[in-house]
Structures are given as structure tokens and as C-alpha cells.
Amino acid sequence: MSYWFSSFVSNILPFITAGVFFGGLAYRVYRWWRSPRASVSLVVPPEPRSVGRTLGEIVTEIVTFRRVFKGSRALWVVSWLFHLSIFVFVVGHFRLFMDFSWLWNLLRLTPEQVDLSALVGGGASGMVFMLGLLALFVRRLRMPVRSISVPSDYFLLLLLLAIAFSGNYMRFLMHVDVAEYRAFFTNLFQLRFGAPVNNVMFTLHFFLVQLFLIYFPFSKLVHIIGGALTLKWAYR
């Protein structure tokens, strides 16, 4: 992989990605907020809903996927584990940006124990994520889901599978120096250009993640935000 591509992915593309991602999300939220809403309240009187109860309903729906559970128990299990794995490895990736030394001291964990926990937790969540994507891909190929699928559905699944594969490859088949990656991201967040990480798989993984973030505001996955706004209006 050429040096210019690694430099572009590491030093230039992140700023393009951030602009498109946050700008796209802001535009989508603005469009949802300005979209016409029913003038009739969906709440059956005389039971008004407080702000606290509305937020509780939204959080409960997001955490438990009650609607999916009512529709398909098998899909609910796959979806819940899939989203839990995303939460775990996203939290785990924060170690690339900062070290939670206060937390490790509170839990009385040694650096070796922290690395082992990260390996086990991150590895398990990465495998669950990839297996969940494979299950969703197989489901997409079967009827009746196949009849309503469009090319963007397959593109998104294949992109996420490529991200999962490259990430798991780095975790299980390569040595990852956390300090090196933390130094790279520290320079990036401080808006300083630096030499790209000398790792072809990392460059590929980082490129795929940024491609996903650029595509996210314009994909079906933006339902994560749209669903919360819909619930807000439904429970109002």
C-alpha cells in the first residue's frame, strides 16, 4: 500500500469524514425536526406523560428492543447481542484515545490484567459482531427479505463485514501496540499531521471505518437517531 494513500487516510480523510458525518447528521435531524407531525396526540387521555416517563420509554425501547421482541424472538436475540457487541468494542476503542488509569486503580487491575480483559472482551465482542453480520447477511438472502432488499443493503453489510474482518485480524493475528496507536490519535485530535502508522491492515481498517462514517448519515442505519425522535413524538 503506497505511502501517499496511508498519509491521505491518516491525515486528510479524517477531517473530511468528520465534516460529512456531523454535517450529515445535523441535516437529517433538522429535516426530521421540521417534518410535519400529526396534530392529534397519540396519548390516550386523561393520562399525560411527563418528560421523565417519556425518556424512560425511549431508553427502555432502545435498550430492550421490545418491538423486535414482539415480532421475532430469534431476530431479537441476534439484534440484542449484535448491538451489545457494538457497545462493548466501541467503549474498548476508547483506550486508543485515553487511558482510564483511575478506573484500573479503583478496580485494582494491573496493566497485564487490563490487557487480558481487553483481549477477551474485545475479541469476544468482535467475533459476536462478525457472526451477527453473517447471520443478517444470510437472512437478507432468504425470502421474503430478499424480495425487498436493495443493493445498498448488501453494500452496507459487506462494508461492515470488511470492517469486522480487518479488526479481528488485527486483534487475533497481529501484535497491536496500544501506545503507538494512542500517540497517532492524540496527534490527530490535536490537529497535527504526523507519520501514518506503519501497518497495512490498520490503514485498511481505518479507511473502511471512515467510509462507513461518511455513508452513515445517508444510510438506513441512521434509524438509530430517527427512531429515538420517532419515539419522542409517539410517547409525547
The CATH number for 128's domain is 1.20.950.20
pLDDT band at 236 (very low <50, low <70, confident <90, very high): very low
Q: Which amino acid is located at 13 in the chain? A: L
Mean pLDDT (whole number) for 65-78? 68
The reply to whether the predicted model has a pTM over 0.85 is no
Residue 96 covered by a domain: yes
The cell numbers describing 161, all together, are 463485514
Q: Among all chains, which residue has been given the C-alpha cell 459476536? A: 128
Residue 190 covered by a domain: yes
User: In this structure, what are the phi and psi dihedrals at residue 43, rounded to the nearest 5 degrees?
Assistant: -85, 130
pLDDT in tens, 55-70: 666 566 666 666 666 6
- Distance of CA 28 to CAs 24, 36, 174, 221, Å? 6, 14, 39, 12
Residue 167 covered by a domain: yes
Residue 80 covered by a domain: yes
Residue 125 covered by a domain: yes
pLDDT band at 23 (very low <50, low <70, confident <90, very high): very high
Rounded to the nearest 10 degrees, the angle between the axes of helix 111-141 and helix 73-93 is 140
- Whole domain around residue 116: which residue ranges? 3-8+61-234
Burial class for 98, CB neighbours closer than 10 Å (0-12, 13-18, 19+): exposed
Stretch among 67-81, 113-127, 154-168 having the lowest mean pLDDT: 67-81
pLDDT in tens, 185-211: 888 888 877 777 778 888 899 999 999
Say which residue, 169 or 91, is predicted with more confidence.
Answer: 169
pLDDT band at 179 (very low <50, low <70, confident <90, very high): confident
Residue 230 covered by a domain: yes
How many domains is the chain partitioned into structurally?
1
Give the pLDDT confidence score for residue 22 in this predicted structure.
92
Residue 21 covered by a domain: no
Mean pLDDT (whole number) for 81-104? 73
Residue 23 covered by a domain: no
Q: Among all chains, which residue has been given the C-alpha cell 421523565? A: 52
pLDDT band at 37 (very low <50, low <70, confident <90, very high): low
Give the pLDDT confidence score for residue 233 in this predicted structure.
45
pLDDT band at 20 (very low <50, low <70, confident <90, very high): very high
